[in-house]
Amino acid sequence: MLSKIKSCGLIGIDGYILEVETDISNGMPVFEIVGLADIAVKESKERVRSAIKNSGLEFPVRRITINLSPANIKKEGSSFDLPIALGILTATEQIVNGALDKYMFIGELSLDGEIKPVHGILPMAIAALKEGMEYLVLPAANADEAAVVKGLRILPVKNITEVILHLNGEKQLDEYTIDINELFKNKTEYEIDFADVKGQDNVKRALEVAASGAHNCIMIGSPGSGKSMVAKRLPTILPAMSFEEALEVTKIHSIAGMLPSNTSLVTTRPFRSPHHTISDVSLVGGGKYPKPGEISLAHYGVLFLDELPEFSKEALEVLRQPLEDGMVNISRVNASLSYPAKTMLLCAANPCKCGNFLDPSKQCTCTPKQVQQYLGRLSGPLLDRIDIHIEVASVKYKDLESTKDEEKSSEIRERVNRARKIQLERYKGLRIYSNSQLQPSMMNKYCRLDEDCRQLLKNAFEKLGLSARAHNRILKVSRTIADIEQSEDIKQRHIAEAIQYRSLDRKFWAG
Amino acid sequence: MDQDILYWVWLGSLSNITLRKKYKLLQTFGSPYDIWHASKNELLKNQSVSPEMAAILSDRNIKELTKRKLEDLYVRKIKILPLKNSNYPACLKEIYDPPIVLYVMGELLDDELCLAVVGSRNATEYGRNMAEKISYELAINGFTITSGMARGIDSSAHIGALRANGRTIAVLGCGLDMVYPHENKELMEIISKNGAVISEYVTGTNPLPANFPARNRIISGLSIGVTVIEANERSGSLITANIALEQGRDVFAVPGNADSNNSLGTNRLIKEGARLVTGVDDILEELKFSQPGILESKENLKEISQSKVLRGLTGEERIIAEKLTDGKIQIDALADKCNLSMQLINSTLVIMELKGIVEQLPGKIFGLKI
Ligand SMILES: Nc1ncnc2c1ncn2[C@@H]1O[C@H](COP(=O)(O)OP(=O)(O)O)[C@@H](O)[C@H]1O
Ligand SMILES: [Mg+2]
Ligand SMILES: [Zn+2]
């Protein structure tokens, strides 16, 4: 007897429909799974056998062959336990239902028949809808995540018995729904705010510019100057996430298993802060069982590399291409997959080895040469992706005590939103969305300078000893500053301010 | 008065008669006009007048030449300040041997307080930097910088004052139609527009070595103090220092390396009791004691000079420069003090940096460029 049950697999961050074909025939009692299944999938045999038996059902003592189709895609994970079990039960006619075509089943089984949550539910639910499924039967703990997908009937289940009762028409499962609008409205708030940061107007302004043009930045400041504090708040001034963005971010987090249970959507921009001892794979993704790395977890959010000089050269090297492409490509035996990685890079570094170089209240014990070398090490490919350099001074005690009202994130975000809108409009049809993505070939058109501006820039290069690589970055950042001001033309003051954000190109740092 | 000037120029330019004798003549006859018109006999009646002197004083050729000289001076728009003129600098008038006539290109102000900054021609970079820095800061504090427009320290002293948009006076050892040293042609022009280039020598006088010690007495005589930066053992600046002491002026010296030839003279001055200075505060503090009253007017002066420093700046630049005169400051604190938006502070500072008014140090700390 043959049965077919629908389930879902994952490639990259997308789900694809998958059929579990079960054939039960007379012969030696063997249980075989074919169709490029990995070890975790193969282990499902033991779980399925025990789960069926322990639910008071019959496990056939015959030859069982399971094919996961399409057979040429590698299958991973434990989410096929439930469809495999249901395939066996259907093939042995313990389940009698003529409309299984409309159902997709996902879930891991425990030995007693309980159904446990799995990773990657959101992309699977999206695929189910796309493929015309009507029902998605899935672990109860994943219900919130799947319910975000409108147009699909979500049927959460706790154990295999509930599924059988439902399919045999003995006890209907309840459909699960949530109000997305309500959810989205309430959850887009952050618990932290720029208003918590006292003073530091220069840092705030620089980050506003960065946020407005999606420019990568680096902050240089002594320990305790508040770099981590402001970094965490960068997402709060980025434009609010759209529903589509939230879906995509949630997909990635879902696949990586980073989505807390009972969460339907990641509604705030992610902030990822990997430690400098992180492996290359964890940073950009990949591995034997491919998973998104930190850079993809920071998709549509902020990737914060604290203590940048402490990261290995290799780690920084692997970041380069993804930062450029907004995407990580991983090649596999039979396919290549990709994870999105549109993130804003924010780095922090001490000014020197001992950290005190910029702190007037402490003594720097480094020699001038050591000071130069410390940040000098950073030069190169990664620094070439960074548009804005911010020097963070330690805030004086009296300023920390100040009760002056600081500007709220929401107020800053309003200006950021306005500037971003101008960019979206301007770059319509060009497949870029912000000034930071401007390609050299587009500069002539979008960063046109009049004679005065050109003169200023030339003058600056001659007098301030800026390095040549600063040129295009200054242009892009000037474009953003002009956009914040809603000025069509780039003016001298915009260029001058942009020059201010190139500290590391100055002779006194770069040596 | 115009007529009078002729006689003063004449008396002043008689190079074979010593200053002492000229003062004596003035005492006896009352005015250059009277000397010019005195007959040889009248002149000789006077004990202090030798026959040679009487011959010079009644030489018609010289008198004719002087008339032409005067025309030349008018054409060159050189101002002439006789000793008895009310605009003649008061402190110079006080000295033991004031010039009979001062020739001026530019402008001398009644109320200006001058400090001299002088030193070696063969200055080191250290010396030139110190000269520029100290002059700059003194100028910011409202003082006019006097010096000799020579190569090295003198030039740096003038430049420092000019950088601060302050006033400076160059005293030459030749006529004002000469440029010495030649490479300072442009500097001379700028000084005459931001102060004055002056000399006691009439146009056509060459820069003879003997003129320079005499020139030095004017530099110190105009000033309430003299700062010496780099001088070797035989430097003319040491002579200036000695003259300054005789004139009752304060003498300051900037120390140098013990083994530097360029600092042998200044280090010796310090050993002999000159006030050691490493910055303007040392000078200001000394003046407070030695010349009480002067520093009271200083606050007032500072305001005047600041308004000069700030000349030619745009609104925001001016606000920023004003705050920076108090010293170096981090950008957030500066923005607070100026009450300007961060973006305006950021862009204005870069523009001021490019104009050479402001310098940036690591940590987004800004200061006026010295
Ligand atoms: N501008 C500021 N306003 C309020 N608190 C601050 C500020 N700067 C620093 N702090 C306090 O100091 C702590 C240390 O700052 P942190 O962000 O960890 O510094 P860094 O990352 O530069 O070493 C913060 O957690 C915060 O409590
Ligand atoms: Mg930190
Ligand atoms: Zn250090």
A493/B343 CB distance under 8 A: yes
In the reported structure, the alpha carbon of residue A364 is separated from the centroid of ligand 1 by a whole-number distance in angstroms of 20
Q: Which of B136, B119, B124, B88 lies closest to B240 in space, CA to CA? A: B119
Considering CB atoms only, which of B342, B348, B351 is closest to A202? B342
Quote the CA–CA distance of B277 and A506 in Å, as a whole number.
33
Closest-lying ligand to the alpha carbon of A310? 2
Confidence of residue A399 (pLDDT cuts 50, 70, 90): confident
Q: Is A278 helix (H, G, I), strand (E, B) or coil?
A: coil
Quote the CA–CA distance of A225 and A223 in Å, as a whole number.
6
A496/B330 CB distance under 8 A: no
- Mean pLDDT calculated for residue range A186-203: 86
A409-426 vs A470-484: helix crossing angle, rounded to 10: 110
Residue B305 has pLDDT above 70, yes or no: no
Of residues A282 and B315, the one with the higher pLDDT is A282
In the reported structure, the alpha carbon of residue B217 is separated from the centroid of ligand 3 by a whole-number distance in angstroms of 51
Residue B370 has pLDDT above 70, yes or no: no
The residues, ordered by sequence, that sit 6+ positions from A167 with a Cβ below 8 Å of its Cβ are: A86, A95, A96, A97, A100, A103
Residue B348 has pLDDT above 90, yes or no: yes
In the reported structure, the alpha carbon of residue A271 is separated from the centroid of ligand 3 by a whole-number distance in angstroms of 29
pLDDT of residue A370: 82
Write out pLDDT tens, residues B234-244: 888 888 999 99
Residue B176 has pLDDT above 60, yes or no: yes
Quote the CA–CA distance of A415 and A154 in Å, as a whole number.
40
Closest-lying ligand to the alpha carbon of A224? 1
Considering CB atoms only, which of B332, B347, B362 is closest to A497? B347
Cβ atoms of residues A268 and A235 within 8 Å: yes
Of residues B303 and A83, the one with the higher pLDDT is A83
Q: How many CB pairs under 8 A join A and B?
A: 68
Average pLDDT, chain B: 89
* The residue type at A79: S
pLDDT of residue B236: 85
What are the DSSP E strand ranges found in chain B? Answer: 79-82, 101-106, 114-119, 144-147, 168-171, 195-199, 225-229, 250-254, 275-276, 329-330, 358-361, 365-368
Confidence of residue B302 (pLDDT cuts 50, 70, 90): low
A504: DSSP letter: G
DSSP states along A65-124? EEEEESTTS-B-SSTTHHHHHHHHHHHTTSS--TTGGGEEE--EEPTTSBEE--S-HHHH
Cβ atoms of residues A222 and A350 within 8 Å: yes
Residue B82 has pLDDT above 90, yes or no: yes
The b-or-e profile of B90-113 (16+ CB within 10 A means b, else e) is ebbeebebbbbbbbbbbebeeebb
pLDDT of residue A186: 66
Quote the CA–CA distance of A56 and B56 in Å, as a whole number.
143
A159: DSSP letter: B
- Mean pLDDT calculated for residue range B3-22: 91
Which phi and psi (to 5°) does residue B30 adopt? 100, -50
pLDDT of residue A511: 42
Residue A185 has pLDDT above 80, yes or no: no
Contacts 24+ apart (CB under 8 A), B124-130: B124/B230, B124/B256, B124/B260, B124/B262, B126/B230, B126/B256, B127/B152, B127/B153, B127/B156, B127/B229, B127/B230, B127/B254, B127/B256, B127/B262, B128/B152, B128/B153, B128/B156, B129/B156, B130/B229, B130/B230, B130/B254
A500/B349 CB distance under 8 A: yes
The distance of B161 to chain A (nearest Cα, Å) reads: 22
- Mean pLDDT calculated for residue range B181-210: 93
pLDDT of residue B290: 77
Cβ atoms of residues A412 and A194 within 8 Å: yes
Considering CB atoms only, which of B332, B351, B362 is closest to A358? B362
B362/A199 CB distance under 8 A: no
Cβ atoms of residues B197 and B149 within 8 Å: yes
Does residue B343 sit at the A interface (CB-CB below 8 Å)? yes
Q: Is B104 helix (H, G, I), strand (E, B) or coil?
A: strand
pLDDT of residue A508: 58
Candidate from A72-76, A172-176, A220-224 with smallest mean pLDDT: A72-76
Closest-lying ligand to the alpha carbon of A351? 3
Sign of CA dihedral A457, A461, A462, A465: positive
Domains of chain A (ranges; CATH) run 2-178 (3.30.230.10), 194-437 (3.40.50.300)
Q: Which of B3, B229, B13 lies closest to B122 in space, CA to CA? A: B229
Tell the residue number behind the tokens 């672990």, with chain if given.
A139
In the reported structure, the alpha carbon of residue A221 is separated from the centroid of ligand 2 by a whole-number distance in angstroms of 9
Structure token pair of residue A186: 């309430």
Tell the residue number behind the tokens 């879906």, with chain if given.
A247
* Segment of A346-360, B169-183, B323-337 carrying the highest mean pLDDT: B169-183
Cβ neighbours around A235 below 10 Å, total: 23
Residue B301 has pLDDT above 70, yes or no: no
Ligand 1 binding pocket includes A394 (Cβ within 6 Å): no
Q: Indicate the length of chain B as a whole number.
A: 370
Of residues B61 and B294, the one with the higher pLDDT is B61
| Contacts with B363 from chain A: Cβ below 8 Å | 351, 357-358, 391, 393
The b-or-e profile of A314-337 (16+ CB within 10 A means b, else e) is ebbebbeebbeeebbbbeeeeeeb
| Contacts with A202 from chain B: Cβ below 8 Å | 331-332, 335, 342, 346, 364
If you measure CA to CA, which chain B residue comes closest to A356? B363
Closest-lying ligand to the alpha carbon of A398? 1
Ligand 1 binding pocket includes A226 (Cβ within 6 Å): yes
In the reported structure, the alpha carbon of residue A352 is separated from the centroid of ligand 3 by a whole-number distance in angstroms of 5
Residue A382 has pLDDT above 90, yes or no: no
- Mean pLDDT calculated for residue range A266-280: 92
Determine which of A500, A501, A506, A507 to mutate to test the interface with B (most B C-beta atoms within 10 Å): A500
Does residue B363 sit at the A interface (CB-CB below 8 Å)? yes
Does residue B281 sit at the A interface (CB-CB below 8 Å)? no
Contacts 24+ apart (CB under 8 A), B208-215: B208/B173, B208/B174, B211/B173, B211/B174, B212/B148, B212/B173, B212/B236, B213/B239, B213/B243, B214/B173, B215/B148, B215/B171, B215/B172, B215/B173
| Contacts with B348 from chain A: Cβ below 8 Å | 493, 496
pLDDT of residue A427: 93
Cα distances (Å, whole numbers) of residue A124 to A8, A184, A263, A291, B207: 6, 21, 16, 16, 96
Residue A510 has pLDDT above 50, yes or no: no
Cβ atoms of residues A204 and A194 within 8 Å: yes
Cβ atoms of residues B331 and B315 within 8 Å: no
Closest residue by Cα to atom 25, ligand 1, is A229
Tell the residue number behind the tokens 């006999």, with chain if given.
B41
B332/A199 CB distance under 8 A: yes
Residue A403 has pLDDT above 80, yes or no: no
Cβ atoms of residues B142 and B112 within 8 Å: no
Write out pLDDT tens, residues B137-164: 898 888 999 999 999 999 999 999 998 8
Does residue A353 sit at the B interface (CB-CB below 8 Å)? no
Strands A302-305 and A291-292: unpaired
A481/B331 CB distance under 8 A: no
Does the pTM exceed 0.80? no
> For residue A70, is the peptide bond before it cis, meaning its omega torsion is within 30 degrees of 0?
yes
Which phi and psi (to 5°) does residue B291 adopt? -135, 65
If you measure CA to CA, which chain B residue comes closest to A458? B354
Residue B304 has pLDDT above 70, yes or no: no
